[in-house]
Amino acid sequence: MKKPLDSISNPKYLGSQVLSVQQSLILVFAHLIQNNLNDVVNFLTSTPGPQGSSAFDFVMYEWVTKQHLFSGPYDIKVSIIALTGLLEYAMTNNDVRFQTLIVPGDQIIYHQSGQSISHRTRSKTSKQPEQWTRVPLVVKLFKILVLELQNQINTRKELEEDANFNDDDDDDNDDGDDDGDNKEKDNDDINESNLLKPTDDEATKYLERYDNLLDDVFDYEFFQEKDPDAFNDPVMQVDLLDYLKERLHLFARHAWFNIFQQHLNLIERNALQKISILP
């Protein structure tokens, strides 16, 4: 354990400003955390980071401030599941390391008069210098999971609408086949079109295949050929929407939830309302 951690915690690598390098390094920690969470956290805490603080402070700060920039369904799943484990660990053990590290929460938006009007989580162009709320790491972890829940809800909705749109097209084609003088030929056409019409099971398979993707199109065959280890990882079989629903309902019963609620923005509150955690 210590040797690979020594390699990836080298300041030369941790200090990289290239997003793809940062994502790759963070994903290494995410994989290790899923199997040896306590050891990884303790090691990072005892290792100096590239900016004077501990490697734990540096890695977690970079992770939570760049999570929304990560790409790829596999990497997103690995990262979110690891962050979920970290949050559960922090709450269960009341770990002060997750409470004393302060990180950006939501970006503050100003209108022309300079008065704060709302918060947002993604950067937008503004004449004002970027200003952010400040929250403990444990709070930020919860906010990230809720935001990903909303992303997954949106993705599922788009996929269902796309599937319904395809079904409507097939129904229109079937109706057109009914308008003919040759009744026997029309019946044959209808039977043939029904064979081509997606069944409920086929629609379900369609949704399962594209479930939890942030892009409308994802080539699974290309992904399998490019990275067979990731493709065959059990993580790829996780339904991230159902996973987050289950974990967030569990976290909502914890004493920490009262603190989390104080830092939720409107988008996050709406997401929790959709899964009946908030009224």
pLDDT reported for residue 272: 98
Contact between 213 and 239 (Cβ < 8 Å): no
Q: Chain-wide mean pLDDT for the chain?
A: 78
Residues in the chain: 279
Other C-beta atoms lying within 10 Å of the C-beta of residue 206: 16
Provide the pLDDT confidence category of residue 195 given band limits of 50, 70 and 90: very low
State mean pLDDT over 111-120.
53
Taking only the tens place, the pLDDT of each residue in 123-158 is: 454 456 789 999 999 999 999 999 999 999 999 998
Contact between 10 and 2 (Cβ < 8 Å): no
State mean pLDDT over 214-227.
53
pLDDT reported for residue 231: 67
Q: Which of 63, 72, 66 is nearest to 28 (CA)?
A: 63
pLDDT reported for residue 130: 82
Residues 6+ apart with CB under 8 A from 184: none
Least confident range from 122-136, 211-225, 239-253, 256-270: namely 211-225
Provide the pLDDT confidence category of residue 276 given band limits of 50, 70 and 90: very high
Provide the pLDDT confidence category of residue 256 given band limits of 50, 70 and 90: very high
Contact between 109 and 118 (Cβ < 8 Å): yes
pLDDT reported for residue 214: 38
CA distance 48 to 53: 6
pLDDT reported for residue 251: 98
State mean pLDDT over 18-22.
79
Residue 101 one-letter amino acid = L
Taking only the tens place, the pLDDT of each residue in 26-84 is: 999 999 998 899 999 999 999 998 888 999 999 999 999 999 988 888 899 999 999 99
Give percent of the chain above pLDDT 90: 47
CA distance 212 to 54: 34
Rounded-to-10 torsion of CA 78, 237, 90, 135? 60
CA distance 255 to 251: 9
Cα 70 to chain centroid distance, Å, stands at: 9
* Helical (H) or strand (E) element with 23: helix 19-46
